[in-house]
Amino acid sequence: MTSQTYLVLAAAALVFIVIFQIAKASEYVSVLKGEEKTKQQNNRINAFLMLGFMIIGFIGVWYCNDKLYGQTLFPQGSASVEGEEIDRMFMITTAVTGLVFVITQFLLFYFSWKYQAKEGRKAFYFPHNNKLEVIWTVVPAIFLTVLVVFGLKFWFRITSDAPKDALKVEIVGKQFGWIMRYPGKDKQFGKTYFKVINDDNSNSLGQIWEDNKDLKLKADPANYDDVVTTQTMYIVKGRPVQLIIGSRDVIHDVGLSHFRMKMDAVPGIPTTLWFTPKYTTKEMKERTGNPDFVYEISCDQMCGNGHYSMKGIIEVVTQEEFDIWMAKQKPNYLVANPDKEPKAPVADTTSKTVVAAVVK
The answer on pLDDT for 354 being more than 50 is no
Asked if residues 215 and 196 have their Cβ atoms less than 8 Å apart, the reply is yes
Whole-number pLDDT of residue 357: 41
Radius of gyration of the chain (CA): 32
**Tens digits of residue pLDDT in 239-266:** 999 999 999 999 999 999 999 999 999 9
Asked if residues 299 and 310 have their Cβ atoms less than 8 Å apart, the reply is yes
The answer on pLDDT for 267 being more than 50 is yes
* Mean of pLDDT over the chain: 87
Whole-number pLDDT of residue 32: 57
Whole-number pLDDT of residue 226: 95
The answer on pLDDT for 26 being more than 70 is no
Which range is least confidently modeled, 32-41, 64-73, 110-119?
Answer: 32-41
Whole-number pLDDT of residue 177: 94
Q: How far apart are CA 46 and CA 337, in angstroms?
A: 78
Q: How confident is the model at residue 355 (pLDDT cuts 50, 70, 90)?
A: very low
Q: Which of 5-14, 227-236, 341-350 has the highest mean pLDDT?
A: 227-236
Asked if residues 154 and 227 have their Cβ atoms less than 8 Å apart, the reply is no
Q: How far apart are CA 51 and CA 43, in angstroms?
A: 13
**Tens digits of residue pLDDT in 110-150:** 888 888 877 777 777 777 888 888 988 998 899 889 989 98
**Tens digits of residue pLDDT in 324-341:** 999 999 999 999 999 887
The answer on pLDDT for 75 being more than 70 is yes
Q: How confident is the model at residue 356 (pLDDT cuts 50, 70, 90)?
A: very low
The answer on pLDDT for 360 being more than 90 is no
**Contacts of range 149-153, beta carbons closer than 8 Å, 24 or more positions apart:** 150/89, 151/89
Q: How far apart are CA 115 and CA 123, in angstroms?
A: 9
Whole-number pLDDT of residue 346: 59
Mean pLDDT to the nearest integer, 99-110:
90
**In order of start, what are the domains of the chain with their CATH numbers?**
9-78+99-117 (no CATH), 167-338 (2.60.40.420)
Mean pLDDT to the nearest integer, 225-252:
95
